[in-house]
Amino acid sequence: MLVRLKDIIEDRLCYERIRELRWSEGIKCPYCSSLSHRRQGQHPKCEHRHRYQCKACQRQYDDLTNTIFQDQPYPLKIWVLGLDLWLLGVAESKIAQELGVSENDCRAMSRYWQEKKGDLGSAIVGAMPGPFLRQLQ
């Protein structure tokens, strides 16, 4: 039986790690940098994606606001796994097979990552060290 990475990694763990890496010094508004916020439940598409409202500027944001994962069509774990495999040099066809996505979608993801390659660290969470999967262990 073939075990796919996407089947053993949980979205919950990805969101927890994003929060740890992104806000290691406290949750900070991506618009005004205030540390004062209130939790506003979760994103309607994912229970693990927390929403917040800044007490200073009143704007709403969530765990993925202003990251490369914001507004993406696949679940976070698919993007995290795909990005990790891509950074390790795995071929697009193998990534698509591992993630259970079409090769066209995987090529689109790859082009997106290539465009963001110069600022992947800051675009992801603000300076994430090393491949993400290793951070989940």
Secondary structure (3-state) at 2: coil
Would you kindly state where each structural domain of the chain is located, as residue ranges? Answer: 5-25+64-136
Q: pTM of the full predicted structure?
A: 0.72
Start-to-end C-alpha separation, the chain = 23
Contacts (Cβ under 8 Å, ≥6 apart) of 26? 35
In terms of phi and psi (left: phi > 0; alpha: psi -120 to 50; beta: otherwise), the region of 100 is left
- Quote the pLDDT of residue 1: 41
pLDDT tens, position by position, 96-133? 998 899 999 999 988 888 887 655 554 454 334 344 44
Tokens 């992801």 belong to which residue? 124
